[in-house]
Amino acid sequence: MTGARTPPHPMTLVALSGLAALSMNVFLPSLPGMARDFGVDYAIMQLSVSAYIGACAVLQLVGGPLSDQWGRRPVALVGLGVFAVATLGTLLAPDAATFLLFRLVQAMVAVCMLVSRAAVRDMYEGERAASMIGYVTMGMAVVPMIAPVIGGVLDEAFGWRANFAAMGLLGLIVLLVVWWDMGETVRGGGVPLRQQMRNYPILARSHRFWGYCLAATFSSGCFFAYLGGAPFVGEQVFGLSPAQVGYFFAAPSIGFLIGNFMSGRYTAVIGLNRMVLIGSLVCLVALYLSLLAVLLGLIEPLVFFGAIGVMGLGNGLVMPNANTGMMSVRPELAGTASGLGGAMAVAGGAALSALAGALLRPGSGATPLLVVMCASATAALASILWVLRRERQMSRVG
């Protein structure tokens, strides 16, 4: 039981966040075939995405406080164990209803995302924590970029169940790695729920906490809105084939990967708040320039998706630093803060994705999508400016 005594290797935390990201989208190319196999409408199988995301948001809210009380290690192990069993259930499901039930249980793996962030915050302070979170979350940038491609190949070669078999196998591997390598990072045996409840008002009254949460929520909201509207824009506005749209879908992931690397490299030098500010400005400028180009009649996929790639870079600067900021308000409640922030980001992103999809109609062009994304980027910038203003006020008082 080496892992019970030693702090986790960064690659173990990358594996935790990467597996959670993989489970969201590796099977997306299989959805039409799954609907035919189960004899249901495509909209029913789409619930395996939308309902799953909702379950992830709820489980992050619950998993955060539990990881503060019981520790990061047991929460990660339980989440991975339940994920492995649920994945077996999806493979053996005789009908769509049973499949969707086990698919919702699979969402337990979402606790691995908050645990990986909280464990980094346990081990490192301030800008160093933000740098390490930047490196750890690089896995969440790479996996969504390549997972659908791998899923499509597996489906074509072996059928849709191959995707879930691969998920289960990887889940077991990560479970063994965590069991062996991941030592407990919570100091002092954890914080009892009763004590956490006494500390909640302090967290809830913190302007810094909510400022960082909102900056992360609206910054990621730009990406989620893009997910909801980009397929429509690619086909209806630019006349791209599904394969071409898939290639362009990599743009924000590539940008996010670069931004995460830059966060890991430069946050300790530039500072956490400045990195969030720079990232928010990068998102804002890229999206407004894209909107201006569309309004001027420059309808080119390279311009639109190029701006999305730059937006992804800005997100890569914002997210690790904003997550570190929200967990630094009350370090003993890092898991709770990580879970709440993650739930807000997912729920807010789902709402913006639905809004973008609802506003796009034949003939509307890319303008409604870009307006939603620009509004979200503006709100992210306003959130970090609010944090900076409050800190200046507090420094004057101090």
CA dihedral 120, 126, 128, 129 (to 10 degrees): 20
pLDDT at 238: 83
DSSP string of 190-241? ---HHHHHHHHHHHHT-HHHHHHHHHHHHHHHHHHHHHHHHHHIIIIIT---
CB 171 within 8 A of CB 87: yes
What was the pLDDT predicted at 139? Answer: 65
Tell which wins on pLDDT, 249 or 209: 209
CA 1 to chain centre: 31
Three-state secondary structure call for residue 268: helix
Report how far apart, in Å, the C-alpha atoms of 60 and of each of 10, 72, 224, 265 are: 21, 13, 18, 28
Higher-pLDDT residue of 375, 127: 375
- Of all residues in the chain, what percent carry a pLDDT higher than 90? 32
Half-sphere exposure of 270 (CA within 13 A, CB side): 19
Q: Look at 222 and 48; give whichever has higher pLDDT.
A: 222
Helix (H) or strand (E) holding 124: none
Torsions phi, psi of 97, nearest 5? -65, -45
pLDDT at 196: 64
pLDDT 10s digits, 253-277? 889 889 988 988 888 889 889 999 9
**Percent of the chain's residues with pLDDT above 70:** 90
> Please, what's the b/e burial string for 86-120 (b: 16 or more CB within 10 A of its CB; e: otherwise)?
bbebbbebeebeebbebbbbbbbbbbbbbbbbbbb
Per-residue model confidence as pLDDT tens digits over 45-84:
877 877 887 888 888 878 877 888 888 899 999 999 999 9
| Dist CA 254 CA 353 (whole Å) | 20
228 burial via Cβ count (<10 Å: 0-12, 13-18, 19+) = buried
Question: pLDDT class for 336, splitting at 50, 70, 90?
Answer: confident
Please give the average per-residue pLDDT across 153-158, as a whole number: 85
pTM for the structure as a whole: 0.74
Closest by Cα among 384, 396, 395 to 207: 384
Min mean pLDDT across 49-63, 127-141, 320-334 is at 127-141
Q: What pLDDT score does 218 carry?
A: 94
Which residue in the block uniquely carries the two structure tokens 């998993």?
Answer: 63
* Residue 389 CB coordination number (10 Å): 12
- What is the C-alpha separation between 227 and 251, in angstroms, rounded? 12
The per-residue pLDDT for 124 is: 81
What domains can be seen in the chain, in order of their start residue?
2-190 (1.20.1250.20), 200-397 (1.20.1250.20)
Give the model's confidence band at 392: pLDDT under 50 very low, under 70 low, under 90 confident, else very high: confident
What is the average pLDDT value for the chain, to the nearest integer? Answer: 84
Q: Average pLDDT, stretch 235-258?
A: 77
